[in-house]
DNA sequence: CTTTCTGCAAACACTTTGCAGGGTC
DNA sequence: GACCCTGCAAAGTGTTTGCAGAAAG
């Protein structure tokens, strides 16, 4: 079942994951170690989130999944997302739209700013700006020493108007 | 009705507000200009949020209000909060706890970082650290030029462990 | 006296939970 | 074969809306 991988293109994240699984590494193994199981819905969900560069909501993922697997329900999406967050592969964002969005990080957290357009609602990553070097490191240091706060995660969000909406003249 | 103010202590925010109202300034006047009305529930809600230095949720405000005015319902709290946000006196925060929290700003936005304890849930303001000067200005400039993004508001949140929870040994 | 505001109950959107059946190891 | 996982339906959040009566101006 895990052996019929299509080798004609570069290994997708799912393939990589399956290899890892066989070798006892990666998400599958991590799950196994937790006494949990690898299933079709989980694989499908993992594939969708790991192949997307966008910030997907549970609903987004459900609709994507539903094309190929109409049998998978929203409940399972939510449960699997929670699991993926717990293993550290996903970060859960709450941008205040009324629903959570998930970002694939493959376990390594590279802090970056997010831009949210107040007009069209689009969310962009500023992944090519090293916010730490641009000054966030100094702020963090100051904060943690002045407030004796043990920082675990940093979140920088800019609300405003994206390029298209400024050009488009929308207010 | 507006003339029986107690003058024995420094003007509270409600008194100041009422004076402003008579003079055609401040929130009351602002509301009037919008064709809206000044009412008992609105005054009470304004008093609670403007006198608190904490980040209150609608529920928090409701419980506080309910002591003095058991007749005021949650619906009115929500509607008034929306109004206060629209007039710019309040900022609505969504820290991802499942409910919104409101911060009184009196119209002037002084961007500051927030610390959220992952253990006890406490939210602190870092109002005595000028995050702009500590480097946020540089990040903003870089972001807006590199992404052609028109920044309207900046939000910096640190998740971690507060002093008490670190000391208390909680994980 | 007109128009806005209010409380109640119902509706809402997103997310979680209980349970019996099905799948994984 | 034991136990975990799943889908469904139902319950649970925090928040919004429709409506008739109350209040502001």
Q: What is the pLDDT along chain A (171 residues), one digit of tens a residue?
A: 333 333 334 445 545 554 554 444 578 888 999 999 999 999 999 999 999 989 999 999 999 999 999 999 999 999 999 999 999 999 999 998 999 999 999 877 788 999 999 888 889 999 999 999 999 999 999 999 999 999 999 999 999 999 999 887 644
Overall CATH class of domain A1-107:
mainly alpha
By residue count, chain A amounts to 171
Tell me the CATH number for domain A110-171: 3.30.1490.190
How distant is C1' of D18 from CA of A23, in Å?
A: 60
Nearest partner of A78 among A109, A52, A41, A115, judged by Cα: A41
Chain B residues touching A57 at Cβ < 8 A: none
B28, pLDDT greater than 50: yes
Q: Where exactly are the structural domains of chain A?
A: 1-107, 110-171
Q: What is the pLDDT of residue A169?
A: 61
Check pLDDT > 70 for residue B169: no
pLDDT digits (tens, 9 = 90+) for B80-135: 999 999 999 999 999 988 999 999 998 777 889 999 998 888 899 999 999 999 99
Of B95, B126, B151, Cβ closest to residue A158: B151
Q: Residue A80: what pLDDT? A: 98
Q: Structure tokens of A141?
A: 């240091």
Strands (E) located in B49-148: 56-57, 90-93, 101-104, 113-117, 123-126
pLDDT band at B67 (very low <50, low <70, confident <90, very high): very high
Q: Is the CB of B63 under 7 A from strand D?
A: no
Specify whether the CB–CB gap between A151 and B158 falls below 8 A. Answer: yes
A-chain residues within 8 Å CB-CB of B143? Answer: 113, 115, 126, 129, 158
B58 CB contact with strand D at below 7 Å: yes
Residue B53 has pLDDT above 80, yes or no: yes
Is the confidence at residue B20, as pLDDT, over 80?
Answer: no
Question: Counting runs of H as helices and runs of E as strands, what totals does chain A give?
Answer: 7, 6
Count of C-beta atoms within a 10 Å radius of residue B79: 14
Residue A35, CB, less than 7 Å from strand D?
yes
CB contacts < 8 Å between A and B, how many? Answer: 139
Whole-number Å distance, CA B59 to C1' C8?
Answer: 18
Residue of B nearest to A158 (CA): B154
Instruction: Please give the C-alpha separations between residue A155 and each of A5, A143, A150, B6, B157, in angstroms, as whole numbers.
Output: 38, 14, 14, 45, 5
Please give the backbone phi and psi of residue B10, each rounded to the nearest 5 degrees, phi first: -60, 145
Q: Which is it for strands B56-57 and B90-93: parallel, antiparallel or unpaired?
A: unpaired
For residue B1, the model assigns a pLDDT of: 39
Quick one: what percent of chain B has pLDDT higher than 90? 69
Residue from the list B100, B151, B157 with its beta carbon closest to the beta carbon of A160: B151
Nearest to B115 by CA among A137, A86, A139, A90: A139
Which nucleotide is closest to the Cα of B73 by its C1'?
A: C7
């Amino acid at each position: 079942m895990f052996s019929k991988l299509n080798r004609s293109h570069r290994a997708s994240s799912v393939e990589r994951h399956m290899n890892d699984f066989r070798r006892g590494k990666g998400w599958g193994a991590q799950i196994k170690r937790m006494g949990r199981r690898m299933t079709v819905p989980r694989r499908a969900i993992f594939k969708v989130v790991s192949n997307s560069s966008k910030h997907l909501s549970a609903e987004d993922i459900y609709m994507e999944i539903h094309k190929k697997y109409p049998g998978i329900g929203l409940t399972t999406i939510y449960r699997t997302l929670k699991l993926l967050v717990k293993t550290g592969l996903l970060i859960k964002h709450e941008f205040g739209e009324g629903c959570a969005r998930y970002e694939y990080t493959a376990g390594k957290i590279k802090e970056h700013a997010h831009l949210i357009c107040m007009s069209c609602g689009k969310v962009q990553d500023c992944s090519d700006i090293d916010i730490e070097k641009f000054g966030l490191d100094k702020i963090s240091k100051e904060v943690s020493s002045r407030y004796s706060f043990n920082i675990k995660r940093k979140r920088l969000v800019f609300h405003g108007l994206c390029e298209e909406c400024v050009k488009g003249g929308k207010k």
